[in-house]
Structure formats: structure tokens, C-alpha cells
Amino acid sequence: MDHVANYPILRKLGEGATSEVFLCQDPFRNREVAVKRIFPEALRDPTRGRLFRKLFFTEASLAGKLEHPHIAQIYDAGIGEDSGYIVMEYVPGGTMERFCVPENLLPLEQVVDIAFKCTRALAYAHMQGVTHRDIKPGNLLYAASPTDVRIGDFGLALNVGAETTQITGVGSPAYMSPEQIREELVDHRTDLYSLGVVMYQMLIGQLPFRANNKFSMIYQITQHDPPPPSALRREVPSSLDRIVRRAMQKEAAKRYHSGDEFAEDLIEALRAGLGEASRETFGDADKFALLRSMRFFSAFVDRWCCARATLATSSASSSKARCGSARTRSSSPCSARASASARWRTSRSAASSAAPPSPRAPGRACCACASPTSSRRASPAAASSTAPSSASWSTASTSRTRASPRVDRRTVETLGHR
């Protein structure tokens, strides 16, 4: 066989229980692609043929739907009575399985970077209504470097938008969430649990639960808690212990609610430091956090940022209103004098036309500003016998102003006479 559909075969990449994968040349785009071909006998299997067809069709139906830099793209697909193929992006590096053994562990910074990119890719897939259900190192591919990661093999994916029955009992048991291994209905949080298991394995080089048979594995996953990664690799900081522990909670409600929330904790752990030597280069998680804080990218925020900004704005408005109310209640004498002065101007014109002029008492204050009027027209004797001293009058007027900044009628009449 030298072709799969219209794609010339360059070499064989590998095979599994139900399919084989070839490196082919795309004659239309002049690029190398990976083509998965399902075995005809798998489709003709009398007991599981329908299941294999359904799973293959599920992956093929995602062609062109998931376009993300950290998801292996599906370009083309075709399925017939006893044949089928899927044309995918070719990722030349390999899988993450080689970095899940104690003798070949990656630095903590790179593990966090890989997990961060996977959380972003899963958040995008979940937004499209797609749950992977088979996150494991064998389905995490990398290209030029380990941190150039791609999530592949959506054959077991659950597409919420499709009107299909959810298939249970599929996946890799060691990476399954408790609800998935109990064959219950699952949602996107099962992917976050599986990614927590992958992160655990990449940190210390072994699975959190190990057993000799499937039943023992099921019991450990549903009943036991694994030791923290730091217990087996001393340089793992407590921040990564907390992240893995939350991602692997038995109850889905206690896990991360979204890939974005998972990613945010990874960024915070990276910022706090991972206990290693200072870095001379920045990973993609660092760059993402830095770019998001720039003014230019303020319009390109995620939905949780918008919600947080809305809440902050609402809180600030409430605080401002309370502060404004407090300032109004505790107005200074100067603001009271300004208000009284404005009322005096209005009252003066009304009083001068409505009431006849009356004699002015010497030394009476002209307004609530607590400064006595000049007694130039009064005799010194009359001024001394009628008006109080300047200091005492100022004190009395000031206290009256603080109590009520209004201008009384007698003051208005006096000012009108003046």
C-alpha cells in the first residue's frame, strides 16, 4: 500500500489495537501530515465494531473545529463501510511518556510550562463543548522542544453539541477520574483531574496510584489519597503540591472549575518561584502573564477577567457613593459658609422688595461667616455696650454655623437695610 486515500505514504509511524498511523505527503498543501487509518477488521468486529466506528467518527467530526496552537489539528477525514482515515497535523517530537520516568525528568519550570499550555488548550476545547476524556502522557505530543506541546487523539472525546449518547467505560484507568472509572456521566472536570495525574507523574516519575490489577486501581483512585509530590522529590515546592492536590480531588465540585482557573494558579506558582536557580529566560506562562498586564491587551481579557473587573467597578462605585455621603454629612465650616453665602444672595433681593428696612443693630454678623460687621457708623460707646468682643462673637457665631448654616430672618432684614 502506497496511498491512504489521496495521500502518498512516506513511512509508517506506528500502530495500535484498532488503527495504524502513517507519515504522508499532503499533495494539496505541500506539507507532511499524519494519517490514521482504522483497520477494516476492527469495523467488522461483531461485538465492538459499532463502538470503534462511533469513536472513530467522533474524532473525525472534530475536523476544523478545534483550532488552537496546543491542540493537534485535524485537517481531513473520511469513513466508509469498512474503512476510514483521519488526516492530522504531524508533530515530529514524540510523546511526553519519555519524560515520565525518574531518570529523565524535566526541570520544574518546564513541567509547569507544559501543564499551563495544556490547561489553556483544554479551556478552549471545553468552551467548544468538547471533553477529551483520555488525557495521558501518550496523548500529549511535542514538536521542536518538550514545551512545544500539542494535545492529540480526541477519539474518546465527548462532544456536548452532538446529539449522541455518552459512552462510558473508555479511557486509560490510571488517569481516569473517580466518576469516570465508576462509569458515571462526566463533564470537563474529568480532564482537569487527568491533567493533575499527568503533572504528578511528570514531577516525580511515577503514577500517584499503582496496582497489579484494574480492581485494585479502581479502589485506590476512589478511596485513597496519594502522597504529595514533594515527599518523593524534595525540590518540588508546596505551591505545586497544592495545585496537584486540588486538581485530583475525589469530588468534581472541589476541583478547579475551569482550565483557566487551573492556569491562573500555575502562573502564581511560577511567579512565587519554584525553588530553583534564577532563570535567564521566560517561559510562555511568564509571557502570557506579562502581556495580559499590558495596557494594549486590556481589551483581550478572558471572561473571568471581565467578571472580576465588573465586580471591582461595582464595589468602587458603592464605596465612592458612601464616601460622598460621608463628606456631605461632615461638611467643613468653609463649605457651610459658601452655601450660606449663596442663600444670602437670593434672600437679600427677596427681603429688600418684601420687607421695609429696619434699623441695624450695631455689631451684628452679616452672615454665617462669623465675622462681625464693621461698626464705623456706630459710636464707640454704643459699639462697646451693644456688641460683644470680636473674639467672643466669632466663637459664638462659629458654633452656630456648625449647628445650622442657615441665615435667620433678622439677619436677612439687617442686610436688606444695609
CATH class given for the domain over 94-275: mainly alpha
Residue 20's nearest CA partner among 94, 84, 96, 93 is 84
Residue 118's nearest CA partner among 230, 248, 297, 266 is 266
In the block, residue with C-alpha cell 512516506: 10
pLDDT at 212: 87
In the chain, domain spans: 3-89, 94-275, 333-417
pLDDT of residue 346 exceeding 90, the answer is no
pLDDT of residue 50 exceeding 90, the answer is no
pLDDT at 371: 38
Q: Are 405 and 341 in contact (CB under 8 A)?
A: no
The predicted-structure confidence for 126-137, as pLDDT tens digits, reads as follows 999 999 999 999
pLDDT at 288: 63
**Residue length of the chain:** 418
CATH class given for the domain over 3-89: alpha beta
Three-class secondary structure of residue 26 per DSSP:
strand
- pLDDT band at 298, cuts 50/70/90? low
pLDDT of residue 311 exceeding 50, the answer is no
What are the catalytic residues?
134
- pLDDT band at 105, cuts 50/70/90? very high
Helix or strand holding residue 37 (H, E): strand 31-38
Q: How many CA atoms lie within 13 A of 132 on its CB side?
A: 32
Sign of the dihedral through C-alpha 273, 150, 128, 54 = negative
Q: Terminal CA-to-CA distance of the chain, rounded, Å?
A: 116
Give the span between the Cα atoms of 114 and 184, in whole angstroms: 29
Considering the entire predicted model, what is its pTM? Answer: 0.65
pLDDT at 19: 87
> What is the CA 269 to chain-centroid distance, rounded?
15
The predicted-structure confidence for 203-241, as pLDDT tens digits, reads as follows 999 999 988 888 899 999 999 999 999 999 999 999 999
> What is the CA 286 to chain-centroid distance, rounded?
15
Burial profile 64-83: b = 16 or more Cβ within 10 angstroms, e = fewer:
ebbebebbbbbbbbebeeee
Max distance between CA atoms of the chain, in angstroms, equals 129
Percent pLDDT > 90 in the chain is: 45
Task: Name the phi and psi angles at 22, rounded to 5.
Answer: -120, 150
Cell numbers found for residue 275: 525553588
